[in-house]
Structure 1
Amino acid sequence: MATFSNSYDTKQVSGTHTGKDCRFALTSLTSLFFMWGFITCLNDILIPHLKGVFDLSYSQAMLVQFCFFGAYFIVSLPSGTLVKRLGYQKGIVLGLVIAALGCLCFYPAASLHSYAIFLLALFILASGITLLQVSANPYVSILGDAKTASSRLTMTQAFNSLGTTVAPFFGAYLILEQASEAISATASAQQVQMPYLLLAALLLLLAAAFAALKLPNMSAETRQGQTQKAGGENHQRTSAWHYRHLVLGAVGIFVYVGAEVAIGSFLVNFFTDPNIGAMEESAAAKYIAYYWGGAMVGRFIGAVAMQKIAAGKALCFNAAVAMVLMLLAMLASGHLAMTAILLVGLCNSIMFPTIFSLALKGLGKFTSQGSGILCLAIVGGAIIPLLQGVLADNIGIQASFFLPILCYGFIAYYGLSGSKVAPGSNEAKHQE
Structure 2
Amino acid sequence: MTDQKNKPYLFAFALVTSLFFLWGFVHNLDPILIPHLKRSFTLTTTQSTLIDSAVFIAYFVMALPAGFIMKKFGYKIGIISGLLLFAIGSFMFLPAADYQSYNYFLIALFIIACGLTILETAANPYAAVLGDPKTSTQRLNFAQSFNGLAAALAPVIGARIILTKGHTDEELSVMTDAARKLALASEAASVKMPYMILGIVLVVVAVLFAITHLPKLNTDPAHTPSKNIFHAFKHKHLTWAVIAQFFYIGAQVSVFSLFILYAEKSASLPQVTAADYLGACGIAFLIGRFLGTFFMRFILPEKLLALYAAINTLLCLIAIFATGMITVYAVIGICFFMSIMFPTIFSLGIKDLKGDTEYGSSLIIMSIVGGAILPRFFGNISDWTGNIQHGYIIPLICFVVILFFGWTGHKVVSTDK
TM range (shorter): 0.7 to 0.9
Q: Does 1:201 align with 2:200?
A: yes
Deviates most, 166-175 or 124-133 = 124-133
Any conservation in 2 of the 1:291–1:346 contact (CA below 8 Å)? yes
RMSD: 2.9
The one-character-per-residue Cα deviations of 1:262-289 (angstroms, maximum 9, x if unpaired) are: 111110011112xx33222122112112
User: In the alignment, what sits opposite 2:78?
Assistant: 91
Residues 115 and 32 of structure 1, relative CA distance in 2, 3 Å threshold: same
Match of 1:376 among 366, 370, 376: 366
Counterpart contact for 1:96–1:203, Cα < 8 Å: yes
CA distance in 2, matches of 1:170, 1:251: 34
Cross-structure match for 2:69: 82
- Structure 1 residue 317 corresponds to structure 2 residue 304: no
Q: Name the aligned partner's letter for residue 388 of structure 2.
A: I
**Secondary structure in 2 matching 1:287:** helix
In structure 2, how many angstroms separate the alpha carbons of the residues matched to 1:316 and 1:90? 36
Give yes or no for the alignment of 1:257 onto 2:244. no
The number of aligned residues is 396
What amino acid is the match of 2:87?
Answer: A
CA–CA distance in structure 1, aligned partners of residues 186 and 92 of structure 2: 17
Task: Tell me the CA shift for residue 142 of structure 1.
Answer: 5.1
1:256 touches 1:407 (CA, 8 Å); kept in 2?
yes
CA pair 207-216 structure 1, distance change in 2 beyond 3 A: closer
- Residues 244 and 218 of structure 1: CA distance in aligned 2, closer, same or farther (over 3 Å): closer
2:9 and 2:215 in contact (8 A); partners too: no
- Structure 2 CA distance for partners of 1:151 and 1:422, relative to 1, 3 Å: closer
Partner of 2:342: 352
> How far apart, in 1, do the equivalents of 2:21 and 2:414 lie?
41
Distance 1:284 1:355 in 2: 30
Give the aligned residue type for 1:327. Answer: L
Is the aligned partner of 1:129 residue 2:116?
yes
**Is it true that 1:110 corresponds to 2:101 in the alignment?**
no
Q: Which residue in the other structure is 2:174 paired with?
A: none
Show the counterpart of 1:271: 263
- Range moving further from structure 2, 20-29 or 327-336: 20-29
Q: How far, CA to CA, are the matches of 1:306 and 1:154 in structure 2?
A: 10
Q: Give the conservation status (yes or no) of the 8 Å contact 1:172–1:283.
A: no
Cα distance in 2 for residues equivalent to 1:27 and 1:422: 33
Q: Deviations along 1:214-233, whole A, 9 cap, x unmatched?
A: 31352697688449xxxxxx
Q: Against the structure 1 CA distance between its residues 141 and 118, is the aligned structure 2 distance closer, same or farther, given a 3 Å change threshold?
A: same
Deviation per CA, 1:137-188: give whole Å up to 9, x if none: 3444454555554444333221121111110111110000124569811221
Partner secondary structure for residue 401 of structure 1:
helix
Taking the aligned partners of 1:365 and 1:82, their CA distance within structure 2 comes to: 15
Deviation for aligned residue 1:425: 8.8
- Provide closer, same or farther for how the CA distance between residues 319 and 136 of structure 1 changes in structure 2, counting only shifts above 3 A: closer
Q: Deviations over 1:167-211 (max 9, x none)?
A: 011111000012456981122111111111111122122223333
Give yes or no for the alignment of 1:397 onto 2:388: yes
Deviations 1:346-404 (A, max 9, x none): 11122223333444556666555444322221111111111211111111201111111
Q: Which residue of 2 aligns with 1:185?
A: 184
TM-score (norm 1): 0.83
Name the CA shift for 1:140/1:401 in 2 (closer, same or farther; >3 Å).
closer
Q: What does residue 213 of structure 2 align with?
A: 215
Residues of 1 paired with 2:84 and 2:415: CA distance? 48
- How far apart, CA to CA, are the structure 1 residues paired with 2:22 and 2:343? 20
User: 4+ residue runs of structure 1 moved beyond 6 angstroms?
Assistant: 18-21, 219-224, 423-426
The question of 1:34 aligning with 2:33 is answered: no
In the TM superposition, residue 420 of structure 1 has moved relative to its aligned partner by 4.4
TM-score, scaled to structure 2: 0.85
Q: What amino acid is aligned across from residue 141 of structure 2 in structure 1?
A: T
Asked if 2 retains the 8 angstrom alpha-carbon contact of 1:312 and 1:419, the reply is yes
Say which SS state the counterpart of residue 214 (structure 2) adopts.
coil
CA distance in 1: counterparts of 2:118 and 2:104, whole angstroms: 21
Q: Say if 2:141 and 2:340, in contact at 8 Å, map to a contact too.
A: no
* Correspondence 1:69 to 2:67: no
TM-aligned CA distance change 1:316 to 1:51, over 3 Å: same
2:370 and 2:221 mapped to 1: Cα distance?
27
> In the alignment, is the contact (CA less than 8 A) between 2:86 and 2:116 conserved in 1?
yes
Structure with the bigger percentage of helix:
2
SS of 1:295 mapped into structure 2: helix
- Structure 1 position 326, deviation (Å): 1.1
8 Å CA contact 1:111–1:186 kept in 2: the answer is: no
Q: Which moved more, 1:246-255 or 1:148-157?
A: 148-157
- Measure, in 2, the Cα distance between the counterparts of 1:412 and 1:290: 25
Distance 1:95 1:318, change over 3 A: same
SS in 1 for 2:43: coil
Between the aligned partners of 1:415 and 1:138, the Cα distance in structure 2 is 20
